[in-house]
Structure 1
Amino acid sequence: MLFVLLICSALISGSEVAFFSLNNNDVEELKKGESNTRLLKLRDKPRSLLATILISNNFINIAIIIISDLIFTELLPEGYFNNTATWFQENIFFLKGLSIPAISNAIIFFITVVGVTFLLVLFGEVLPKIYANINKIKFAKLMATPLAVLMFLLGGFSKILVKWSNQIESKVDKHKGSAKSRLKDDIDKAIDLTVSQEENAEEEADILKGILKFSDVLVKQIMTSRMDTVSVDMQTSFTEVLKVVKESGYSRIPVYKEDFDNLEGILYVKDLLGHTDNNQDYNWQQFIRKDMLYIPESKKINELLREFQLKRLHMAIVVDEYGGTSGIVTLEDIMEEIIGDIRDEFDEDSDIEFLRIDDNNFIFEGKTLLNDVCRVIGEDINIFDEIKGESDSLAGMFLEVTGRFPKVDSELDLNPYKLKIVSMTNKRIEKINLMIKR
């Protein structure tokens, strides 16, 4: 019986390593076989699977300990250790008050624990996990059916365990998030206190704060939306392409076919330099580069920067959850989050379109990003975090808070700020007046 339980313990322990070490290539290989459906279903429920494995393993280990104690007691009765117990009682002062049978039982228990622990660690944990790691696919296939049965039998226990772990995890994450936020606030204050009073000290402080918050910024917050992206259609004549290049001043331009959701590649303007004298029928499409990088809106910009470095790219196409093109993001956009606006000979006097009426009144384009609005009015970029929801622009926040499409002169009170719609089209908020109530 003890031998059977040890085998069960080894199989359960090994299955944990086998299932959770399967990589994407292993999964793709398993999907090719129709008999692996049960295995893949188990892998799709990692928390329930892990809970079932842990509960099963604990039950088996407890059974092994109980049976081992019974076997050991039968093989070595307490009288067998009486002489040893007597020696302990006579020579160890804190055992003098205990009886010989009690000391004898303690010795038996200690030997049992050491022996069982050795068996469990070696044959129930180490060896099966080493084997499962080497033969993970084979081991996972072997244990798929037994684990499916155990998951069905222990479903109630595993659901309770998963629920508890989720609650604990959410509380820990919440605590870590609030602690992280407090830490960043403290560092912000420390930067303001320690920065020198020399010229350009404010810019230096902004760079330090930008580095501090760099890992929390999403691509969606800094990208250029598809409505504001300069791009060209595949069917555009060479003359028109040159005109777009000259007017935009960009070195890389996305090329699409019929619709911006159907991108064909990126046109590098430097590839056209030797062909500017060609006529409008010139085949400029031959220079379209297909090596495009697609990224989700939710990607962190610190991760994107690493990806740009590894793939030696300067531009990425941002896609939404439905696979549509949301816009583009460039290496320059990322760097500006740290060091501020990077100005070149093609930039206008201000990338942020706004009108300052007085110190407390500003008129912004509806598409203006909240981060840029905060920089213009001199406020922390996180002041709207609690109310903006999923929005990133001033118009988006207005729609998020009100929950309806507004009309001209519609107002939104966000004490100490007040937003008022100045102009709009049927589908878009064009200009918003932001007033600071002081």
Structure 2
Amino acid sequence: MPDNTVDTLIDARWIIPVEPARQTLSRHTIAIDDGIIRDILPTGEAHAKYSAKQHFRLDDHVLIPGLINLHTHAAMSLLRGLADDLPLMDWLNHHIWPTEAKFVSPEFVRDGTLLACAEMLRGGITCFNDMYFFPEAAAQSALSAGMRAAIGMIVVDFPTAYAADADDYLSKGLAVRDEFHGEPLLTFTLAPHAPYTVSDKTLAKVLTYAEQLDLPIHIHLHETHDEIEGSLKQYQMRPLERLHRLGLLGPNLIAVHVVQANTEEIRLLAEHGCHVAHCPSSNLKLASGIGPVLEKLEHHVNVGLGTDGAASNNRLDMFAEMRLAALLAKGQSRHAAALPAHQALAMATLHAAQALGIDSLTGSLVIGKAADITAVDLSAPETQPCYDVTSHLVYAAGRENVSHVWVNGKLVLDERHLTTIDIHELNARTRFWHEKISNQKSFSEGQP
């Protein structure tokens, strides 16, 4: 007879805990209580040991840690497809930034972030690292969706509808952090946008706050060749060297993209324990290039995966990023064993959690960690037969195979139905913004 009652038992055909690496458990069960993984054990033993308020029997499924999107601009989901097939600076200067100047508001960020949360949860993502204006609205949407988030306190040196100057950005961001202090699903980062939008003086202030408050620094870095050339012209040094001289390189730095990096710069990142958020789809779509991921891994730089925003990807799809990262590494190196499936999965889970400093909480299925769990159904013809379940996750399965998602032990996706988000209401809000932005865009372009 069962001698313990827990909140939830999940029986699964397979469990890939990610930690330890390369381990696959067959016919095992996860016991969840108070949002925490209480036990992982063979299913027969679980049934003998525990009773549960909820019991899920997922006979054709694999359980993995909830995926972690290490870099995105969630609210930009409302700008998906607005301006495609353009180089980065043209895309930013002539399309994205002018549109944002007209429309970005707390309501825009609230609705856009909720739209992103719906997409991400349906794709097995349980945590995202965000960088955008009005972070309070982003935090509120993440909480209402029941999703874990690292909220970026964005900083730039030019005025927007959100803030007047760098000090205003920092002041407002820190106030949001204070407001949500103690929320178990939220952490915070300092998010200077990029070296070309933030001055030395502002970067020095960011570093001071990061050291005082023990916060990660989340920044775009070495994304394009133009960024490098602009820095050489303005500062007579490459952006990474500039950050190094300012003292920003360290284990709390999450450098996003790092496409244009030489061996010496990769060694510098490794020496200082920096992390990299690799966003292969966005880098290809904006023609920024293919980052030297294998060289970073060879130098023991911790690399996680991100989608970037839906305006430049155009999907918040971590299954696509895992597959693309692995295939690009193989093609780039001409080595078929490069970046194997188990490593791609670790980059989308544990390595991303390590970059955010939350790996003691999430990123792997370990007793004592939060129950952030994604179930993937491998029963469809497209995923049959299954000889290697980790390989299938990266090369055969997709986000459409995600059936259930738990965040902190709470079921937020049940047989592909969101339990925390009203899709009809969300679609209505999305149509509202689409109409509003489309009308303005048509007017500005002189279209009828």
Same fold (TM over 0.5): no
- Of the two structures, which has the highest relative contact order with CA contacts closer than 8 Å and spacing of 6 or more? 2
- Would you tell me which structure has more helix in proportion to its own residues? 1
- Using the size of structure 2 for normalisation, the TM-score is 0.24
Structure of higher CA gyration radius: 1
TM superposition score normalised by structure 1: 0.25
